[in-house]
């Protein structure tokens, strides 16, 4: 009889039904919730810090890395992941319009300035007529790259071209540059084959380039015109007010994460939150 009683008590303790000492409530409180976050590239040092903060709130942030700029939004829309953090406002708005997706920004992360890099030249002044210049092949980042090339006087765009100019909007190309469109991850690898390559800081850092030391010219991140290129955390529209996802945003937008961004990237990436 004692053995039966002991077995029953052990069973109740293991299943949490024996709640006289709060075991059932504790099991509920300690339940870990998983949030799947999509990023691009291999550099997730900041998100690793966020992950460590969130586990204290019983949230397991599962970081999933994608190799391109297309899959993270498709995976989000198809509920393969819960959030993504890799894109800026211009890219998000263009992508969801083109693909009829209901995804929205729920928080800002960093501003990653775009730079002009070269594996051959020491200065933009060394660029010769007919030189090859690589830009990203997606509309949002190609537009950003063309505006960057215009800002250093290499091309001129038509008036009113806005944030999304294309090669057709180039009205002056005095050096007769050959502009080559490539997928973002290919831009650093193309450096031996082109004279210049426009690369955003996230891709550059993944390729072991220092935006501050290796770029010939770096976008001025403090300008008002840079705001559309602030990177964001995106969610499905139906989940924009999800309390769990808001905790992820709060964990990122904290003083210690802001300090870590400054210490790790030394201005190559800039926290875009207060």
Domain coordinates in residue numbering, the chain:
1-31, 32-112+228-271, 114-219
Surface-to-core class of residue 21, CB atoms within 10 Å of its CB (0-12 exposed, 13-18 middle, 19+ buried): exposed
Surface-to-core class of residue 17, CB atoms within 10 Å of its CB (0-12 exposed, 13-18 middle, 19+ buried): exposed
Sheet containing 114-117, strands listed edge to edge, beginning at the edge strand earlier in sequence: 178-182, 132-136, 196-200, 114-117, 217-218
Tell me which CATH code domain 32-112+228-271 carries. Answer: 3.40.190.10
Whether 32-112+228-271 shares its CATH topology with 114-219 is answered yes
* pLDDT tens digit sequence for 20-74: 333 333 334 579 999 999 999 999 999 999 999 999 999 999 999 999 999 999 9
- Residue 164's CB: how many other CB atoms inside 10 A? 16
Domain 114-219 part of CATH 3.40.190.10: yes
Please report the pLDDT score of residue 220 as a whole number. Answer: 82
Contact, 104 vs 234, CB < 8 A? yes
Radius of gyration of the chain (CA): 24
**Entry pTM:** 0.79
Residues of the chain short of pLDDT 50, as ranges, are 1-28
């Amino acid at each position: 009889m004692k053995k039966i009683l002991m077995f029953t008590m052990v069973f109740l303790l293991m299943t949490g039904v024996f709640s006289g000492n709060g075991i059932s409530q504790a099991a509920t409180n300690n339940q870990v919730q998983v949030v799947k976050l999509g990023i691009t590239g291999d550099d997730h040092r900041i998100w690793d810090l966020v992950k460590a903060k969130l586990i204290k709130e019983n949230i397991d942030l599962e970081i999933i890395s994608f190799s391109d700029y297309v899959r993270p939004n498709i995976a989000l829309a198809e509920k393969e992941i819960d959030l993504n953090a890799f894109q800026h406002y211009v890219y998000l708005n263009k992508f969801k319009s083109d693909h009829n997706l209901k995804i929205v920004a729920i928080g800002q992360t960093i501003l990653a300035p775009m730079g002009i890099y070269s594996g051959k030249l020491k200065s933009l002044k060394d660029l010769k007529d007919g030189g090859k210049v690589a830009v990203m092949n997606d509309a949002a980042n190609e537009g950003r790259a063309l505006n960057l090339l215009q800002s250093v006087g290499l091309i001129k765009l038509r008036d009113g071209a806005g944030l999304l100019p294309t090669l057709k909007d180039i009205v002056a190309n005095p050096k007769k540059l050959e502009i080559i469109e490539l997928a973002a991850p290919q831009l650093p690898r193309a450096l031996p084959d082109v004279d210049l390559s426009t690369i955003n800081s996230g891709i550059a850092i993944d390729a072991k380039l220092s935006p501050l030391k290796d770029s010939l010219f770096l976008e001025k991140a403090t300008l008002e015109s840079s705001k559309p290129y602030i990177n964001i955390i995106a969610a499905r529209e139906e989940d924009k007010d999800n309390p769990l996802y808001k905790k992820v945003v709060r964990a990122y937008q904290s003083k210690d994460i802001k300090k870590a961004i400054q210490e790790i990237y030394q201005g190559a990436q800039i926290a875009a939150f207060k």
